[in-house]
Amino acid sequence: MTRTLTNLGALGIFAGLSIGIFGVPLLQRGFSSHRIGVWSAGDPQVYMWGLAWYPHAISRGLDPLESTAVWAPTGFNLAGRPPFPAQVLPRGL
């Protein structure tokens, strides 16, 4: 019982800190104009590009697993790379 209360207390502290650090700024500025991890290059930009690339490529008849938009002019093989759609789809789809 004591260990469970200690664990729940630690969870509450970390959840409160996380909401205070990340949640409050997002709620104040809005989800459409602000994101976590704002810097000039990094993971958020890679995933955002990946989410936009696949619909773009498929709607134009391009190969979605090969892009010349990055590492031009030779292109880049996206199979198994971070923006691969299987990593961003919910489980079971």
Q: The whole model's pTM is what?
A: 0.46
- Could you report the per-residue pLDDT of 23-32, keeping only the tens digit for each? 887 777 777 7
Could you tell me the two tokens for 3? 């260990």
In the chain, where are the structural domains located?
A: 1-36, 39-93
Asked whether the beta carbons of 78 and 65 are under 8 A apart, the reply is yes
As a whole number of angstroms, the distance between CA 52 and CA 49 comes to: 5
Task: List, in sequence order, every beta strand (DSSP E) within the chain.
Answer: 66-67, 76-77
User: What is the Cα–Cα distance from 35 to 15, expressed in whole angstroms?
Assistant: 19
**What are 67's strand-pairing partners?**
76
Q: What is the pLDDT of residues 30-59, one digit of tens each?
A: 777 766 666 555 566 777 787 788 888 889
Bond prior to 73 in cis (omega within 30° of 0): yes
Distance of CA 1 to the CA centre of its chain: 37
